[in-house]
Homo-oligomer: A and B are copies of this chain.
Amino acid sequence: MNEDSIVRKLRRNAPLIGDDCAVIQTPRNQDLLFTTDFSIEGVHFTRESSAEQIGRRAVARSLSDIAAMGGSPLYCLISLALADWTDPHWIDGFYRGVNKLLRQTKTQLAGGDISHANQLVCDVMICGSVGKGKALRRAGAAPGDCIYVSGPLGGWRHKSDISPRLDIGRKLIGKATACMDISDGLALDLHRLCLASGVAAEIDSVPLMDGATVEQALHDGEDYELLYTAHPKRRVPGIQIGTITKGTPGALRYQGRKLAPTGYDHLQPRS
């Protein structure tokens, strides 16, 4: 197993691979979206997950960012640093998970890099597109707007798969005043959205996944649901959880009490 033999295998389904860069035609009347997300052994996953699951999740994480902007994914670059414990069988499983989700979401594998490290490290870049000037941003929420999530929260310990909310994101174009995905916990991510918009927020209730606690829904990460705001007269999909308010930018309240904007910080190992 060497670098070139892995690349040769990948090229069978990915004709854009082969030169020093992937060459891509620019879509017309669209803005491009770029995002990249790590999946690191011991930080984002453990070896107990299957190779296919790890591959799928690594891609889903980046697709969720495209969904959060209301975009459609186009191309994907995957950088993979293999560890000593990864064998050809594992690598096949990993790319099976990757390719399945890429096919489902009409995203083309266009390149990447292969190396090795002490622990498995994967970095997935996705390029997507969205109508010119239409991307959903974090800044834009106004006092009085309702706050929504696209599904129940708190489930990272229970969830085996992430399903990026691309359809919901696209439906929010022209409707949501602000949008992002929940990757580091509702409290921390809503705090970020409020900071960007210069507003505060009041949460009334939080929809929970089976087996999850409110504490987990507020402060755990890895939900990958969308978090968005809209004018109260605007009909949008999802579950309303509260209201945007005037106040110190970024300040949060949950059922009337002050809520600390703590969540998952990637520089701290997950307990």
Q: Which of A1-42 touch B at CB < 8 Å?
A: 1-4, 18-27, 30-38, 40, 42
Please tell me if A113 contacts chain B, counting CB pairs below 8 Å: yes
A128, CB-defined interface residue at 8 Å = yes
Min C-beta distance of A94 to chain B, whole Å: 15
Q: Which of A62-70, A144-152, A209-217, A241-249 contacts B (4 or more CB under 8 A)?
A: A62-70
Contact with B along A208-244 (1 / 0, CB 8 A): 0000000000000000000000000000000000000
Min distance, Cβ A123 to any Cβ of chain B, angstroms: 4
- Cα distance, A265 to B77, chains bound together (Å): 20
Q: Judging by beta carbons under 8 Å apart, are B21 and A35 in contact?
A: yes
Q: Distance (Å) between the CB of A3 and the closest chain B CB? A: 5
Q: Does A81 contact B (CB under 8 A)?
A: yes
* A22 and B34 contacting across the interface, CB-CB below 8 Å: yes
Size of the A side of the interface (Cβ < 8 Å), in residues, is 68
Question: Which B residues are in CB contact (< 8 Å) with A75?
Answer: 34
A89 at the interface (CB under 8 A from B): no
> Which A residues lie at the B interface, using CB under 8 A?
1-4, 18-27, 30-38, 40, 42-44, 64-66, 68-69, 71, 75, 77, 79, 81-82, 110-119, 121, 123, 125, 127-128, 130, 132, 135, 137-139, 180-181, 192, 196, 265-269
